[in-house]
Amino acid sequence: MRKLFVVLSVLGIIANTRAYNFIVSYPLRWAGGEVPLVLQLDDTRTPDFLSDGNTSWDDVAMEAVAIWNSVLPTIQFSTTSGPGHANGNERNEIFFSPSIYGHRFGRGVLAVTTTWHIGDERVEGDTIFNSAIPWDSYRGELQSGSVDFRRVAIHEFGHIVGLGHPDQARQVMVSVMNSIISDLDTIANDDVFGAQALYATETRHVINVAVDPPQAGVVLVKPTAPDGKMARGALAALTPKPNRGFRFNFWDAPDPSSSRVLKFRAYEDRDITAHFSSNTAPRIISHPKSQFASVEDFVTFRIKIANARQASFQWQFEGTDIPGATESALTLQGAQHWDSGLYSVTVRTAKGETQSKPARLVVDDY
Amino acid sequence: MNICSVKRLNGVVVRALFIAAILVAAPALNATSVLPPDFNAMVRQADLIFTGRMTGQRAEWRKIEGQRSIVTLVRFEVIGVHKGRGGPVIELQFLGGKIGQASLDVDSIPKFHVDERVVLFVEQNGVAASPLVGFFHGKFNVLTDGTVTHHDGAPLGDVADIGKSRARRGSTPRAMAHDEFAGKIRGATQKAN
């Protein structure tokens, strides 16, 4: 079969001199776009007249969110409200509590951020503020008698961004992310550099990618440029030349991507599988999402496509078709351990077919 | 006053003392998510203080109050006990860990590696997210040369520096040897008793 070699430009970043630290040894980040935070602070602690003039804990948290949003290039926090919180429910919930989902805070612990991820996919980040603490909100030096809620919120939301404690990585920097800080009440340069290293895009490389057949197929992208200049951990983006008649519609890269641009981190030990389809094939608006479940739970994976009429669906488990699973949603009634694994769906119309991103189901021991 | 109200009153007093302790500590120590205890408070709060060598760990799913969690059970071979009672092997439970493709990371939770030698100040093992006093402050590494470091890897020169940021620590000419640190712990324990 004839092979078409398409030249793709690759855009990546030049890393800043690193002083910041990440929450895990390999950078773990959100897919691009919106990261919704569910604020439940006023629901879990009575709003008060605070020293900075605020009368709502949620409003103070929104100030902390805005500070991070002002420096985040490819993701933005959004805020909503809503009742109920749970650990491992794939929602990012911010609230006061006397414990960390039943685990005691311990003496002197102000707040904790928990981060769930499935493989390389970040699925949840909750911040729990210790309700036993005498909170207030003020700027400047820490005051006796109360703890400034806003700077702790900025610190904890930095963990949701993906940053760790630089001082515990033996770095001596001015940073709101330090485990013990001075009277700093907002983000510092090092915090900005860290966030932008996680989410920025720059630099240019060119690599060749074979697409077979010419307008559809699967390619394995080697995450190293032919000139060898793409550094391990660098962010890269594959952008097809215009009017090539195909698009990316499936990839296993954890970074922000669209149907026209595939973005990924370059790792020496990891290939990126990119699926192409013709421009006329069904377009996926929302892919199935990875999720946790307990034994006997009902689990539903959903896909949303443009122009769903006339489309047919075939769900797969670990790459093998599931007999009878031909609706736009896949429901498992009474999940079991052996149901853990990767689920994906093929969408077909008369004009072509599209493969979804895989979503992982993790069934815990309960 | 009945027994219930006495217990409730005791709880109120304990909470008031706890909050008072935080208020006293906050302006002096300037921590973000954890208010670090000083050396004497650490010794006083710890149920168990020991030197050990990390020998292994395993992660388990847990469900507490209906909430899904992963915990990691870290095992230590005990080299010496400085306060409290401990057998030849001690297992500590930390919130967070990795099981298959699922991972739960908790900021500030201490991490360990096999053969790492540590001095640990332990309280509320099994019920707190971190069983160490001050979340991560209760962990001190013992290097191969026998000297001790703070949780952030900086050499421990003086127990008076414990709980302070690097910028606020005094400059000492040498790192403290493990035996000297153990002696200071035992001394503070006796003093507290």
Q: Which residue has the tokens 């069904």?
A: A282
pLDDT tens for A227-253 read: 555 555 566 666 555 445 556 666 665
The pLDDT of residue A175: 85
Q: H-helix or E-strand containing B4?
A: helix B3-29
Report pLDDT for B9.
41
Cβ proximity of A187 and A202 under 8 Å: no
What are the distances in angstroms from CA A12 to CA A200, A206, A262, A266, B153?
Answer: 8, 11, 11, 9, 33
Are the C-beta atoms of residues A264 and A271 closer than 8 Å to each other? no
Dihedral angle over CA of A305, A308, A313, A317, nearest 10? 20
Mean pLDDT of the residues in chain B? 83
> Å from B67 to nearest chain A CA?
6
Name the one residue in this structure whose structure tokens are 């599931």. A322
**What pLDDT shows up at residue A154?**
95
Element (H, E) at B179: helix B178-192
Q: Please compute, for residue A179, the number of CA atoms within 13 A of its CA located in the half-sphere on the CB side.
A: 31
CA distances from residue B59 to A88, A93, B62, B72, B106 in whole angstroms, order as listed: 16, 24, 10, 4, 14
Contacts of A355 (CB under 8 A, 6+ apart): A249, A250, A275, A277, A344, A345, A346, A347
Q: Is the pLDDT at A14 greater than 50, yes or no?
A: no
The answer to whether A129 and A147 are in contact (CB under 8 A) is no
Q: How far is the alpha carbon of B36 from chain A, nearest alpha carbon, in Å? A: 7
Closest-approach residue (CA) in chain A for B19: A133
Residues 131-170 of A with CB under 8 A from B: 132-134, 141-147, 151-152, 155-156, 159, 164-165, 167-168, 170
Q: Which residue has the higher pLDDT, B95 or A177?
A: B95
pLDDT at B140 over 60: yes
Which residues, including other chains, have CB under 8 Å from residue A258's CB and lie 6 or more apart?
Answer: none
pLDDT range class, residue A198, cuts 50, 70, 90: confident
Q: Residue B141: how many CB atoms within 10 A of its CB?
A: 17
Beta strand ranges found along B1-156 (DSSP E): 48-64, 67-83, 89-95, 97-99, 102-106, 117-122, 139-142, 148-149
Preceding peptide of B110 cis, ω within 30°: no
- Asked if A292 reaches chain B (Cβ–Cβ under 8 Å), the answer is yes
Q: Is B143 on the interface with A (CB under 8 A)?
A: no
All residues of chain A having their beta carbon less than 8 Å from the beta carbon of residue B31 are: 108, 110, 179-181
Average pLDDT, chain A: 78
A106 and B123 in contact by Cβ < 8 A? yes
Residue A8 pLDDT = 33
Give the ipTM.
Answer: 0.81
A37 pLDDT above the threshold of 60: yes
pLDDT tens for each residue of A280-319: 778 888 889 889 999 999 999 999 988 777 899 999 998 8
Predicted local distance difference test score (pLDDT) of residue A281: 77
What's the maximum distance between 2 C-alpha atoms anywhere in chain B?
A: 59
Contact present, A311 and A282 (Cβ < 8 Å): yes
Determine contact: B139 vs chain A, CB below 8 A. Answer: no
> What's the whole-number mean pLDDT along residues A49-75?
94
Say what the pLDDT of residue A119 is: 79
**What pLDDT sits at residue B29?**
32
What number is the average pLDDT over the span A42-52? 93
A–B CB contacts, 8 A cutoff, strictly below? 194
Query: At B42, is the pLDDT very low, low, confident or very high (cuts 50, 70, 90)?
Result: very high
| Cβ-defined contact of A115 to B123 (cutoff 8 Å) | no
Report CA A299 to chain centroid distance, whole Å.
Answer: 21
Identify the closest residue of chain A to B106 by CA–CA distance: A114
Query: Half-sphere exposure of residue A167, counting CA atoms within 13 Å on the CB side?
Result: 23
B177: DSSP letter: B
